[in-house]
Amino acid sequence: MSEAAPAPGGGSGRDGAGGDGGAEAGLGYEQARAALDDVVRRLESGGLSLEESLALWERGERLADVCQAWLDGARRRVDGALRPPEPGRGD
């Protein structure tokens, strides 16, 4: 039962700018969540330049998109598992 969820697809992102998504796109949920926690801590600690803060914010947005894609995939899997079998299917 250790089947991994499929990696989230590269959507358009929150800002509508397609693009590469950087290294974030290949992260698993737990990795992306931990990285997002780190981004939030760094932003909350202050002491960063505006440019550094903006770059971190943008990375946080990409990480949040990755996390959401994993959660959406998990929801689809759960919904599929809970759906009653269709009548007439020999599965």
- Mean pLDDT across the chain, nearest whole number? 82
For 38-52, the pLDDT digits (tens) are 999 999 999 999 999
Longest CA–CA separation in the chain, Å = 64
Average pLDDT of 67-91? 89
Asked whether residue 1 carries a pLDDT value surpassing 60, the answer given is no
Its pTM surpasses 0.85: no
Look-up: residue for tokens 């990795």?
A: 31
CA–centroid distance for 76 within its chain: 15
Name all domains of the chain by residue range, CATH numbers in brackets.
28-81 (1.10.287)
Helices (H), 1-91: 29-45, 50-82
Asked whether residue 25 carries a pLDDT value surpassing 90, the answer given is no
Encode 38-76: b = buried (16+ Cβ within 10 Å), e = exposed. ebeebeeeeeeeeeeeeebebbbbbbbbbbebbeebeee
